[in-house]
Structures are given as C-alpha cells and as structure tokens.
Amino acid sequence: MRLFSSLYSKAMIWARHQYATYWLAIVSFTESSFFIVPPDVMLAPMSLAKPHKAWFYAGLTTIMSVLGGLLGYLIGSFAFDLIEPWLQSLHYVDAYQLARQWFEEWGFWAIFLAGFTPIPYKIFTIAAGVALMPILPFIFGSLIGRGMRFYLVAGLMRLGGADLESKLSQWVDRIGWAMVILLVMAYFIWK
C-alpha cells in the first residue's frame, strides 16, 4: 500500500508553495508556547525541497521559535492559572512538574536541553515564566538550543539535497510502515 508516498508527495508540493515560509514562521512561533506540531515537520521538507534556502529557513525557525518561547514565558509569568487546565487536558502536568524541578537545579541548561531535544519546549517556556527564570539566560539558552536543533535539521536536508529527496520517495512507504509496526510493538510492550 502506497499511503506514505502519496503523503510525502503532498508534503513536498506544500514545501514548495509560495506561502510555505509564512506558515513555517507561524508554526515555529506558536509551537513554542501552545501549538502541538513541531516546526521540524515543515523545516525538513522545505529545506529538502529548496536546499539553497535551508540556512534561511533554519534562521527563521530559530528566531520565531525563540519569540514564541518568550510568549510562553509571559504566559507562565502572568497567566499560568488560565492555562493550567489546558496542561492537564493534554497530560503535560508531569512534564511541567519535571520542568520546574529542572529549572530549580539547572536553570540555563534546562532551557538549552529543552530547546535542542524533542522534549516539549512549550512546557519549559511556560515553566521558566512561572519560576521567573532570569530573562537573558532564558533567551540565550533558547537561541543556542533551538538554533542547534534547527540548523542541524536544515543542514542534513541541505546536505542530502536532490539525491535524498529521490531516495526518500523510493523508500518512504517501507520506512513509514516500519515505523507503524515499531510503534504498535512499543505500545504492546509498554502496555
């Protein structure tokens, strides 16, 4: 079944769309404070579709993500009571408690790691605001962590270029179904 190859083809068409850059900026901003989809989902195919713009896309994603992180910081500082039910509904309360603990112990390094890793960055931006983390270490940790992550993604896609795009189109169905099987197996193992 060729489900994943048709999705891949659509993603590459959308990645070349004239408004894709604007959507990347919006997703990058909103993901850092309240949106669920990470910008890597757009950054990777856009950098693959237009490798000559990969560094621009990585820079845009980094800047907009840090600005969105500042919104998350403000939400944590001034409106945590309003968003606490939202955190509970998304089952992020444990992650939020862990983030607060990390800020108490590691400060700058906590936001740096949250920016670079797949840990939900938005939880850490909000927790940084609640904990009233000093703003400059927050900004620098975010810039470095998010920048490293997004430039790595864009760089790998740029390096692969047209060769990677054609190889992925050949292998995307096999990779997709292998991931589905692994996820189902992981679900039954941990259940």
DSSP class per residue in 111-151: HHHHHHSSS-HHHHHHHHHHTT--HHHHHHHHHHHHHHHHH
Cα(49)–Cα(110) distance, integer angstroms? 33
* pLDDT exceeds 90 at position 174: no
- Residue 156 domain flag: yes
- Best CA proximity match to 43, nearest among 29, 61, 26: 61
- Residues 122-149 have a mean pLDDT of 92
Q: Is residue 91 part of a domain?
A: yes
Both tokens assigned to 91: 């089952």
Domain that holds residue 120: 13-161
**Residue at 72 is within a domain:** yes
* pLDDT given at position 166: 65
Flag whether 61 is in a domain.
Answer: yes
Domain count, the chain: 1
pTM, two decimals, is 0.77
Any domain includes 168: no
pLDDT tens-place string over residues 86-134: 778 877 778 778 877 877 788 888 889 888 988 888 888 988 898 888 9
- Answer yes or no: is pLDDT of 163 > 70: yes
Tell me, yes or no, whether 107 lies in a domain.
yes
What's the CA gap between 31 and 68, in Å, rounded? 7
Domain-located, residue 64:
yes
- The token duo for 49 is 């579709």
Q: Which residues contact 95 (CB under 8 A, 6 or more apart)?
A: 119, 120, 123
In a domain, 185, yes or no: no
